[in-house]
Structure 1
């Protein structure tokens, strides 16, 4: 929790960046707080729409919050962002998450 407190303090001091928001969102995912994670990860991709790792984490947080349709949309946007940057590994990972999510929804 100390890391989250430090990151939140940085944000409160006005040091907002996509990386800071991604870090906060990722930590909240680890803490099992997808709602808080979503808030920060959405802001990360607003600040940097090409940030494929933030899109992936946003998809994971949305899925963990039971928001499957929103997670699918985040993964799709993340795949486009990753492909646009030539980040084939991130695009591939999000493609796998996307297939799993779609499969789970159809069951």
Structure 2
């Protein structure tokens, strides 16, 4: 609770990025549900909708997505350690799952492991940059900077 009482602006910054990212992620999920590809994935519809590649990839992606959703549920219930474990499982199944890195990084930072939170935020930014999604990458780097400021100000 030291973080909340000492510098509410740090918590506000982390929470703002977290909330904005959650809203955008929900919008993307709704858009994917309306995709022409039966799997709901919209990254590269030509390869994902191809019946030969879809079976194996969609199975892995579905499992990673299940762990990610489970992590989000644990996060909403305030069960950070369980959420971190679920995000980690999602990342193990899909090492390019940027959203899982973001949410795990946020949870790690709030659980007193700010350096690991920075590493996960930067990994998410790297993944988004490699996909050409610079706005998402910038949001991830903002979280990393917010955590760094918290460390410098003795919040962690």
Q: In the alignment, which residue of structure 1 is the partner of 2:139?
A: 93
Runs of 4+ with >3 A deviation: none
Helix, strand or coil: the match of 1:62? helix
Q: Which has the larger radius of gyration?
A: 2
Cα RMSD (Å) of the superposition? 1.5
* Number of residue pairs aligned between Structure 1 and Structure 2: 93
Counterpart among 66, 70, 73 of residue 119 in structure 2: 73
Structure 1: unaligned runs, 5 residues or longer? 1-14
Whole-Å separation in 2 of the counterparts to 1:87 and 1:18: 21
Whole-Å separation in 1 of the counterparts to 2:63 and 2:124: 18
Whole-Å separation in 2 of the counterparts to 1:20 and 1:85: 22
TM-score normalised by L of structure 2? 0.56
- How far has the Cα of 1:104 moved from its partner? 0.6
Q: In the alignment, which residue of structure 1 is the partner of 2:85?
A: 39
Structure 2: unaligned runs, 5 residues or longer? 1-59
Whole-Å separation in 1 of the counterparts to 2:137 and 2:74: 23
Q: Which moved more, 1:59-68 or 1:85-94?
A: 85-94
TM-superposition CA deviations, 1:41-72 (whole Å, max 9, x none): 01111111111111111111111211101111
TM-score normalised by L of structure 1? 0.80
